[in-house]
Amino acid sequence: MHHEKLVKLDPTIHSRIRLAVLSILASVKEADFTYLKETIGTTDGNLSTHLSKLEQAKFIKVKKSFKGKKPVTTCSISQKGKDAFSKYLKALEDIIHFKRP
């Protein structure tokens, strides 16, 4: 199908884990690292790598703090991330509906 090549998907989001992270963060104000790890079903190291990529692209904000004596990493989506996620969704819809972007 020709349309497959025409729809451009953002390579930063085009990964199962990064897409799952953005999907969760788009529907909450913030989520902690453990929640993301448990919901997506991945490992600490793997999630950290993907979060770093999203943070480098400025799609998410990562905040490190303490809850009592326990260190907590909290993530939230940025405006740039929201826009990129919307564009990605639109691109997926275009593929499904055989539309050219």
In the complex, the residues that contact other proteins under the rule CB under 8 A are 1, 4, 7, 9, 14, 16, 19-20, 23-24, 26-32, 34-35, 38-40, 67-68, 89, 92, 95-96, 98
Cβ closest to other proteins, residue 15 vs residue 52:
15
Smallest distance from other proteins to CB 90, Å? 11
Smallest distance from other proteins to CB 38, Å? 8
> How far, rounded to the nearest angstrom, does the alpha carbon of residue 97 sit from its chain's CA centroid?
23
As to burial, measured by CB atoms within 10 angstroms (0-12 exposed, 13-18 middle, 19+ buried), residue 18 is: buried
